[in-house]
């Protein structure tokens, strides 16, 4: 069962605030009873709708992602519209019309026999479609990426300090050969799903998936220290907790290697027909080289001294082990690498 993690609670809280505010505006504009009572009742409508719509998006809508984008959008919009109308009917039954009062079945008859119901159906379908369209886009490109596209922050390029984490699945080639394409695809879907919450709950953003790797970043500055090591620890805990499930389904549990590095990059939008936010600069390549060195040095985690200079703190029970300078593949200057003892 999907856990109600910190980022999901934040989503529910945001959805609740938006739904209550929009319902108050909608109710006040369209109601003939423009009063504080109307605002209060509209707020209740928005609150009750969010009680089921928020969990639906988090725990039910995702079950249709194996379908195509359009199919999932139609199914989720339809189901959410039905839920919207059922809830609306029950709420009208509870509060009633001025002519009928609450808890009168005559209220339902008058509602479904009046033009008000078609207004609510249109509103419910429109809201459901818009919510699921935005939700689908968020799940497709990531919440932060979509937001940055909309505000055009990186349209002309922006230099910024960032910390990068590259998470790599160990022995993916052998695993793909053993499982076959279809089952390996399911494995990778589970793998990326299970690292998502640990990363997002500790302030990281999954920038992109590269084969069997995930590139994660944290912006530096703004008075915050990156919780990169806490994210790695949470990933380990997630896989330890689900080890039996993986072994039962695939015959093997995932193991990861990770590399960390920090530095200045140029963040920009590139592409003519396929726009994408990209990070340009040496820190990206260095992070990949550090992650690759895990194989040669037989370590599951390596990072540069620059990571510690960002203020990133180690979880309780972890300590730094300095490995000395190493020349990474494709680089002339050696770089000091570190790992941890847990």
pLDDT tens per residue, range 82-108: 888 888 888 888 877 666 777 777 777
β strands within 135-255, DSSP E: 158-169, 205-210, 213-219
Q: What is the pLDDT of residue 307?
A: 95
d(Cα 170, Cα 254) in Å, to the nearest integer? 7
> Across all residues in the chain, what is the average pLDDT?
83
Rounded distance between C-alpha atoms, residue 126 and residue 29, angstroms? 17
Domain 152-341 of CATH type 3.30.70.1230: yes
pLDDT on residue 218 = 93
pLDDT tens-digit series, residues 118-147? 777 777 777 778 777 777 777 666 666 667
Q: Is the dihedral of CA 75, 77, 82, 86 positive or negative?
A: positive
Spatial CB neighbours of 36, under 8 Å, sequence gap ≥ 6 = none
DSSP state of 59: I
pLDDT, position 299: 94
Domain regions of the chain by residue span: 6-141, 152-341
pLDDT digits (tens, 9 = 90+) for 33-43: 556 666 677 77
Task: Quote the pLDDT of residue 254.
Answer: 94
Closest CA to 54 of 125, 136, 131: 131
> Cβ(47)–Cβ(19) under 8 Å?
yes
Say what the pLDDT of residue 197 is.
86
Residue 1: the pLDDT is: 38
Map residue 300 onto helix, strand or coil. coil
pLDDT at 67 over 80: no
Average confidence (pLDDT) over 264-272: 87
* Share of residues in the chain with pLDDT > 70 (%): 85
Give the C-alpha distances (Å, rounded to integers) separating 214 from 183, 199, 200, 330, 336: 19, 11, 13, 21, 23
Q: Looking at per-residue confidence, does 336 or 277 come out higher?
A: 336
Task: Encode pLDDT of 215-255 as tens digits.
Answer: 999 999 877 889 999 999 999 999 999 999 999 999 999 99
pLDDT, tens only, 170-190: 999 999 999 999 999 999 999
This prediction has a pTM of: 0.74
- Give the per-residue pLDDT at 2: 47
State the pLDDT at residue 36.
65
């Amino acid at each position: 069962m999907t856990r109600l993690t910190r980022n999901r609670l934040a989503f529910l809280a945001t959805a609740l605030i938006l739904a209550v505010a929009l319902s108050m505006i909608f109710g006040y504009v369209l109601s003939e009873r423009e009063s504080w009572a109307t605002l209060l009742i509209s707020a209740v409508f928005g609150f009750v709708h969010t009680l089921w719509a928020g969990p639906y998006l988090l725990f039910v809508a995702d079950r249709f992602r194996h379908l195509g984008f359009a199919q999932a959008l139609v199914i989720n919009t339809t189901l959410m519209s039905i839920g919207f109308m059922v809830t609306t009917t029950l709420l009208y039954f509870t509060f009633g019309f001025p002519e009928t009062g609450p808890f009168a079945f005559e209220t339902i008859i008058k509602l479904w026999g009046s033009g008000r119901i078609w207004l609510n159906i249109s509103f419910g379908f429109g809201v459901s479609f818009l919510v699921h369209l935005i939700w689908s886009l968020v799940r497709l490109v990531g919440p932060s990426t979509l937001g940055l596209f909309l505000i055009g922050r990186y349209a002309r390029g922006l230099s910024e300090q960032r910390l990068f984490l590259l998470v790599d699945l160990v022995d993916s080639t052998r695993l793909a050969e053993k499982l076959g394409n279809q089952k390996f695809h399911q494995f990778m879907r589970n793998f990326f799903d299970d690292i998502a919450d640990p990363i997002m709950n500790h302030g990281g953003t999954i920038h992109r998936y590269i084969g069997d790797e995930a590139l994660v970043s944290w912006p530096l500055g703004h008075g915050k220290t990156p919780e990169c090591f806490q994210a790695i620890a949470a990933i380990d805990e997630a896989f330890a907790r689900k080890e039996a499930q993986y072994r039962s389904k695939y015959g093997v549990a995932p193991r990861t290697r990770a590399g960390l590095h920090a530095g200045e990059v140029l963040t920009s939008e590139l592409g003519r027909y396929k726009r994408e936010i990209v990070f340009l600069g040496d820190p990206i390549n260095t992070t990949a080289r550090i992650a690759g060195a895990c194989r040669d040095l037989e370590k599951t985690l390596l990072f540069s001294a620059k990571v510690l200079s960002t203020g990133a703190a180690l979880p309780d029970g972890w300590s730094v082990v300095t490995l000395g300078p190493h020349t990474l593949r494709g680089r002339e200057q050696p770089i000091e690498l570190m790992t941890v003892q847990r």
